[in-house]
Structure 1
Amino acid sequence: PLSAWPFSMGTVNNFGLNEDQQSLRQRTKREKRLEEGCFTVLSEMGLPIALCCVISSLLGNGDDGYHSIAQIEEDLRLMAEMPEKFLFGSVSENLHLTDISFCGRDKEVSKLVTAFEQVTEADMSTKTMVLVTGYSGTGKSSLISHVQHRFVGKGACFVSGKFDAMQQPQPLSAIASAMNDYCDILAQDEARIDTVREAVASAIGSEGNVLADLMPNLQKIVHLGDDPPIQLQGREALQRVLFTFRMLFWATCSTTHPVVMFLDDLQWADKVSLELMEVLVTDTMLEGLLFIGSYRDNEVGVDHPLSTHIGSISRSGCVDHPLSTHIGSISRSGCV
């Protein structure tokens, strides 16, 4: 009878296991999950990048990052007292976080930095682009955000845009947003603004009205006149837009003044944006531009428009094999 069983056997559950056996089974499963390790990137859970960097630095075992509790306390105090500057903005140079390692992503960071260095070499005969792939939530955008300060620290202008599934009918939405920010950055560069104004005016002339609706901040660089913006329709109009974008880059981008353009969620890019991407990346006369794109490769098949344009870029011979880096889940070993 059950009453005669020794107490050490515990209570039998619905699976035929006593409590001790069940506990052992649960521990084994839990330890196995930890060994296989699939960890969510903190920033993908909504944590600010600066706070993620603090945690990453504390988990790391390298020489970079924090060297005392006082440094940690100072950074946390700055984030609490001025969150708009130190918590929610870009990782500030005033914090002790300017060169900490990004947990588990050293190879990916190195690949991006190398690509940028190639773009700034004056004797490069081929172009460079980087494609970052991976499932949603694996940290593609966070990786670029982490490397952004390195690009800017080396004199680059970093601009970004994000495609949205709901805005696909609106051509060039993400690129126009990035370029509008680019014009604003150029307009605020007091050391270059006069040279930039002259170069842009000479390059695009009256064609600036083609971009008036897409990039209102272009008006801060050149006077577009009082004529209403040109309404674009048809293939000929599209060619004018693509040409004007190229001319704008020709006038402002170089190996000494490089530009890094990051476009996120390319799987939702419209056809016009993909065509402009290909035009810019394969333009052998354009120097100093590093194009970085990210997309969910599980949503992009061989017949997807993005795959078609990537294949066309590869076959053009203008790009030295588009660099592709896949972002998977971070293993436990990658964070120690």
Structure 2
Amino acid sequence: MITLPDIEVCTEIYSSASSLVYRGIRQSDNTPIILKVLKADYPTTAALIRSKQEYAITRSLDIEGVIKVYSQQDYQRSLVMTLEDFGGESLEKFRQDLPESYCPMPLAEFLHLAIQLAEIIGSIHASQVIHRDINPSNIVLNPATGRVKIIDFGIATRFSRTNPSFQNPNVLEGTLAYISPEQTGRMNRILDYRTDFYSLGVTYYELLTGQLPFVTDDMLELVHCHIAGQAITPHELNSEIPPIVSEIILKLMAKNAEDRYQSAAGIEADLGTCLLQLETTNKIEAFPLGMQDISDRFQIPQKLYGREAEIETLLAAFERVAGETKEQNTYPKSQIELILVAGYSGIGKSALVQEIYKPITQKRGYFISGKFDQFGRNIPYSAIVTAFQSLMRQILAESETALQQWRDQILEAVGAIGQVIIDVIPEVELIIGAQPPVPKVGAIEAQNRFNLVFQKFIRVFSSPEHPLVIFLDDLQWVDSATLKLIELMMTDSETQSLLLIGAYRDHEIDAVHPLLLLLNELRSRSIAVNQIALAPLALQDTCQLIAETLHRDAASIAPLAELIQRKTAGNPFFVEQFLKMLYTENLIEWAGRVSTGGGRHGGTTPTKPWFS
């Protein structure tokens, strides 16, 4: 228990890995309160910053459906927040303690609650905040008053489109059973406010069916289910759920954010229609969804346009090194493979490579990446080091049992000269511990020794059980030591299930560039080297991108598409920036949109003549 002046702490009501929550009373005015304190005796700087951010965001939300925070103060070496206590308990606690009423919930009660939640989330989004952790534990209900509030803004963010990184499921932010595909960092998609709609859909699913859509104890399998798995339709699990309510939930849980509801008002409207039908006719008939789902945000779709063949080439290469083949052996298996992606800056090389996230997750593989720097060509192995540092962080986040297995395998591979690897990748020491010093040798001998032990080191992480994909960007600036290491990796007969992907600007290298010389050498030795040359978008693809952004048919925006194609030369990055410029300069006017199935046309209209 904690001790604070003017506060009587009554009981601990919740404990997580990072915080403790207590019920108490402020004695000066006899007000019931909730106290939230960081759990660690010595919280990290990151934990303290996060707690202060949670306080600031919660304090800024003057919304009836959001828990109110009174104050935050220092407590010993930590921080404690004081919040309102309106007599509620979390839905998760009700589900555990009163399963007959909340697991599953009766349809009418669910609809009343679901409408309230949609309205609250809409208000949160209108305040430019994304919660990022909607689930029954963070929804508090007082059954006596019917009041419901959303709590715990610990990982909430202000509105921005962020790109989560590929990382171990153990360290993902959010509650894994409820997070959206894009929040896993393995979808090559930007994270925005619609991540909350997916989590809300999973919450609705659980409240109505009594179970989660994806049930597994394997975290990586759960991530893959969110990305590619199809949940059983709710009304198949509970026959009392009308099919149209199932459709609403599954629309919320669509894998791509563009296919979900685009506004909380749209969710609220469709749920309201269901409730009205239930109360007036005692049944719920099907009706078109999304009729009032009007988005007030200008957003460019995140999918890739005009890259279908290139994506297929990339995925086929991964299937070969992962031990899978297409039907009739169209693609023969290979142990290791190199694939190069060439094109101008902004053409979409990195975005294309990230399409490999899904199959890597399915095969329980690892994806690591590094980037060469124009002014760091004299730093050997810079991108390789960055890539393997991220791999070490992924491994350090695994269970102690798995970590011990990795420790044993690495020590067996590097033998008595593990310090050679630690000198280049210091994070390795966190896994295998301190290693004895190695004898000093000349420069050439030292490089040969490193190359030898690195070959053995990399074999540990690339296997049919967990294929390894290494992505090295900006190879036009690669150093000679890394090129030699790439050659050794690609010619090592004992390495398996390794896919090395490189990206470079082909207009910045010539025929005598060391990279091209290496590629010619590898091909002469029958090493699998594939090349993907990314061309600018065709006018047809640019037209499709613009039409789907502005929610107009292709014919009506053809003049604009031709203009943008001329101005940008079909470079996807420039196309996106040009569209944003038109919008921010009020050269096009956003009139809202209706999601698929809606009746309103909406879209964007020009406010000034097209310019040339």
Q: TM-score if structure 1 supplies the norm length?
A: 0.70
State the match for 2:319 in structure 1: 117
1:124: Cα distance to partner? 3.3
2:425 is aligned with 1:266: no
State the Cα distance separating 1:162 from its structure 2 match: 0.1
In the other structure, the counterpart of 2:535 is 328
CA distance in 1, matches of 2:398, 2:365: 13
User: 1:207 corresponds to which residue?
Assistant: 417
Q: Could you say what secondary structure the match of 1:166 adopts? A: coil
Judged with a 3 Å threshold, the aligned counterparts in structure 2 of structure 1 residues 232 and 257 are, in CA distance, closer, same or farther, namely: farther
User: Partner amino acid for 2:414?
Assistant: I
What residue identity is the alignment partner of 1:87? T
Q: Residues of 1 paired with 2:335 and 2:466: CA distance?
A: 18
Query: Which of these residues, 189, 196, 215, is aligned with residue 398 of structure 2?
Result: 189
Deviation at 1:167, TM superposition (A): 0.6
Q: 1:219-247: per-residue Cα shift (whole Å, max 9, x none)?
A: 122123364x8777521111111111111
Q: SS state of the match for residue 92, structure 1?
A: helix
Match of 1:255? 464
Structure 2 runs not aligned, ≥5 long = 1-117, 131-155, 166-181, 185-194, 199-254, 260-301, 325-331, 545-612
Matches of residues 15-26 of structure 1 in structure 2 within 5 Å? none
Q: 1:88 aligns with which of 159, 163, 168?
A: 163
Aligned twin of 2:429:
219
SS in 2 for 1:124: coil
List runs of 5+ in structure 1 lacking aligned partners. 1-69
The equivalent of 1:315 in structure 2 is: 524
- Contact 2:392-2:427 at 8 Å conserved across structures: yes
Instruction: Tell me, yes or no, if structure 1 residue 294 matches structure 2 residue 503.
Output: yes
Q: Between Structure 1 and Structure 2, which shows a larger proportion of strand residues?
A: 2
- Matching of residues 73-222 of structure 1 within 5 Å: 77=125, 80-81=129-130, 82-83=156-157, 87-90=162-165, 91-93=182-184, 96-97=255-256, 101-121=303-323, 124-125=333-334, 127-190=336-399, 192-222=402-432
Q: CA deviation at 1:316?
A: 1.5
Supply the distance in 2 between the matched residues of 1:171 and 1:235 (Cα, whole angstroms): 14
C-alpha distance in structure 2 between counterparts of 1:230 and 1:149, whole Å:
44
Distance of aligned partners of 1:231 and 1:264 in 2 relative to their CA distance in 1, 3 Å threshold:
farther
SS of the residue corresponding to residue 503 of structure 2 reads strand
Q: Deviation of residue 186 (structure 1)?
A: 1.9
Name the counterpart of 1:12: none
Higher RCO structure, 1 or 2 (CA under 8 Å, sep 6+): 1
Amino acid at match of 1:333: Q
Which of 429, 434, 443 aligns to 1:234? It is: 443
How far apart in 2 are the matches of 1:258 and 1:101? 25
Number of residue pairs aligned between Structure 1 and Structure 2: 261
* Secondary structure of 2:522's aligned partner: helix
Letter in 2 for 1:89: P
Q: Are 1:184 and 1:218, in contact at CA under 8 Å, matched by a contact in 2?
A: no
Q: 1:66 maps to which residue?
A: none
Q: Which AA in structure 2 matches 1:109?
A: I
Cα deviation, 1:111-130, whole Å, max 9, x if unaligned, reads 11111110011893553211
Mapped to 1, the partners of 2:334 and 2:499 lie a distance apart of: 14
CA distance, structure 2, for counterparts of residue 125 and residue 107 of structure 1: 21
Q: Going by fraction, where is helix more abundant, 1 or 2? A: 1
Q: Give the AA of the match of 1:140.
A: K
SS in 2 for 1:261: strand
1:45 — aligned with what?
A: none
Q: Which runs of 4+ in 1 moved over 4 A?
A: 76-80, 83-86, 98-101, 229-233
What code does the residue aligned with 2:413 have? A
The CA RMSD measured in Å over matched residues stands at 2.9
Q: 1:182 to 1:130 in 2, by over 3 A?
A: same
Secondary structure of the equivalent of 2:494?
coil
Q: Could you say what secondary structure the match of 2:340 adopts?
A: strand
**CA distance 1:266–1:245, shift in 2 (3 Å):** same
Query: Structure 2 vs 1, CA of residues 230 and 209 (structure 1 numbering), >3 Å: closer, same or farther?
Result: farther
